[in-house]
A = this chain, B = another copy of it.
């Protein structure tokens, strides 16, 4: 799909716009989360909205849809996620704002035991059309308990779907798909993208869950990015191009289901693969892709598969340490050069 509309808006605004359009279209959609309006229950004091969501991602919704469809919650993630699952089982399409991805910890059971399994263990009787959107990632000095990435863990769980938009355009298309999807979908938003601007059509549109994109074609090696790291791959690609190397960039978009065909096809062409992920290295999406490729495209591989990830450590607070923690386009370029020097 090509973007014909050239209106530039922020990631944040694309999120609000998507929610607004879908809530207008479908009366069974409602949003629930901590401070998504804020100041709840104080209409008598002239306060209907305060925060409009952490980072303002739900700003203005309550004015349009009222407090029963834009529902502030107590700090009870397990309870309100379970409540959302119950509502999804009985005909609604709840959208949950999970403030930070770290908080999957306190509602993990509802995710893995109920949202993911109910349909299966009850023989396909039920569906759970639930969307969760959440913020993740380091780089903001929020330290170990507010910077974590758990999308690899979530992708491990059969029954869950997981997507990671990489810009305002993909956010809107994937969020609308997620809300319309009949399975639980987690839409993971890198904090570092929230102020990014990009071209976004103003009408509602969807991008299929389970399909990756190729924002840059090339033939010398494949760089796979996830969300923000796709931007890093594109940055690194510029440097590499100036050195005469032509990388292809795959923007994964969907982690579960995984569009392995797009990755495999690319590697069959380029014969080399570097996966860039801000998640920690063990048992994550990067290892997953490496494992699939060495299984299914072994004969096309000319070099080891490299992974650029965070180290196996929690996220540190101090700036120099956190800077070093993160993947960067420099690291991608360095690893790529090492890989090509094997020739």
Chain A residues with CB under 8 Å of chain B are 102-106, 108-113, 116-117, 120-121, 143-145, 148, 152-153, 155-159, 256, 258, 280, 282-288, 290-296, 298, 301, 303-307, 311-314, 316-317
Contact = CB atoms under 8 A, between A and B. Distances in A.
B144 A120 contact: yes
B144 A121 contact: yes
Contacts of A157: 280
B121 A113 contact: no
A115 to B, nearest CB: 11
Contact of A304 (B286, B295, B312): B295
A85 to B, nearest CB: 13
Contact of A155 (B102, B282, B298, B301): B282
Among A148, A282, A283, A304: residue with most chain B CB under 10 A = A283
Contacts of A105: 108-113
B287 A158 contact: no
Nearest to A304: B298
Contact of A156 (B112, B284, B290, B298): B284
A3 B79 CA distance: 51
Nearest to A122: B144
A172 to B, nearest CB: 27
Nearest to A312: B158
Contacts of A152: 156, 283
Given A105-B113, A113-B105, A145-B121, A286 B291 contact: yes
A117 B144 contact: yes
A282 B288 contact: yes
Nearest to A299: B304
Contacts of A312: 158
Contacts of A280: 156-158
A144 B156 CA distance: 15
A294 B292 CA distance: 11
A298 B282 CA distance: 19
Given A105-B109, A117-B145, A283-B155, A298 B291 contact: no
A134 B206 CA distance: 43
Contacts of A144: 113, 117, 120-121
A7 to B, nearest CB: 37
23 contacts: A103-B109, A105-B108, A105-B113, A106-B109, A108-B108, A120-B313, A121-B314, A152-B283, A156-B280, A156-B284, A158-B312, A159-B314, A283-B283, A283-B284, A283-B285, A283-B288, A291-B307, A294-B305, A295-B306, A295-B307, A298-B301, A298-B304, A298-B305
A280 B155 CA distance: 11
Nearest to A293: B294
A297 B316 CA distance: 31
Contacts of A304: 294-296, 298
Given A303-B298, A314-B120, A102 B113 contact: yes
